[in-house]
Structure 1
Amino acid sequence: MTKRRVLFLCTGNSARSQMAEALLRHYGGDWFEVHSAGIEPKGVNPFALQVLAEIGIDASHQTSKSLDVYRGKMTFDYLITVCADAEKNCPFFPGQGIRLHWPFEDPAAFEGEDEAKRAKFRQVRDQISARIRAWLDELGLPSHHL
């Protein structure tokens, strides 16, 4: 079976796209080869890694990458933007496949104490998780690790 290739795209590739990459790999890794990138990569946000670890997902191996790492080098069955900026500013590139837009609030932009920031990251993590599981259902694919 050939895995479908997915690219999650966000502005900074620091939080939403990183969480989406880890969550889809966790729930649908048998069905998908998952990547993420940013238009202006900023490094992986430590809160994203922390809230993923809380639910048993180790994403410490993931890195923040530019869209240029993939453009012209790899084709994707799905390109999924997870923020309005990426949706607006993502150029078309050959091999992008089906383009989807799943907008989520940027938890990295939230101001407050660390515990309040962590709570915002958990909220967005759970929204992304629910969207991915719903998408797997829409595609008729079983989701693992529910």
Structure 2
Amino acid sequence: MAEALAKSLYGKRIFIDSAGIEPQPRDPFVINVMTEIGVDMAEDHPMDVEEINIGSFDLVICLTEEARVRVAELTRGQAVDIDFWPTIDPFAGGEQGSREQKLDAYRRLRDDLRRRIEQRFGAAEKKAS
């Protein structure tokens, strides 16, 4: 979600890639809440952190403690900054309630990530209509 948000905000002005410690199939709730804001993730395929050359990045943003620890191990001795943005994964938390309540949890995550991205990288330029 964070990668898709950042790419939608900044396009090709910065290189962005995403990987996980244990990638899972794309969550349908993620696809739904991203489609609501015009971001298509239907063809997005999660990658494993081992699949990318993590040392080629200037900055790695980790969303879980497990990821922060693994990235620190993988980048030991390399000039890579690591930011840790602890987030609550609505899927992993077994969010209870109606479909709409679950979607609201994902929307909160999406909006929180967007806020953090814009705080870190600056406000995105408005796209021409």
Give TM class, smaller chain. Answer: 0.7 to 0.9
Partner residue in 1 for 2:26: 44
Residue 57 of structure 2 is aligned with which of 61, 65, 76? 76
- 1:56–1:85: structure 2 CA closer, same or farther, 3 Å change rule? same
Structure 1 residue 121 displacement after superposition: 0.1
Gaps of at least 5 residues in structure 1 are 1-18
Q: Percent identity?
A: 28
Look up the equivalent residue of 1:107 and give its one-letter code. Answer: P
CA distance in 2, matches of 1:26, 1:85: 27
Partner residue in 2 for 1:27: 9
- 1:96–1:86: structure 2 CA closer, same or farther, 3 Å change rule? farther
Gaps of at least 5 residues in structure 2 are none
- 1:54–1:89: structure 2 CA closer, same or farther, 3 Å change rule? same
- Counting only pairs closer than 5 Å after superposition, residues 104-123 of structure 1 correspond to structure 2 as 104-108=87-91, 109=93, 110-123=95-108
CA distance in 2, matches of 1:145, 1:57: 15
Runs of 4+ that moved beyond 6 A: none
- Total equivalences in the alignment: 123
Look up the equivalent residue of 2:81 and give its one-letter code. Answer: I
Structure 1 residue 54 displacement after superposition: 0.3
Q: TM-score, normalised by structure 1?
A: 0.75
CA distance in 1, matches of 2:70, 2:81: 17
Moved more, 106-115 or 41-50: 106-115
Residue 136 of structure 1 is aligned with which of 99, 121, 128? 121
Partner residue in 2 for 1:66: 48
Partner residue in 2 for 1:98: 81
- 1:30–1:65: structure 2 CA closer, same or farther, 3 Å change rule? closer
Structure 1 residue 65 displacement after superposition: 1.0
**TM-superposition CA deviations, 1:20-73 (whole Å, max 9, x none):** 00010011123212111111111111111110110111122211111111147x
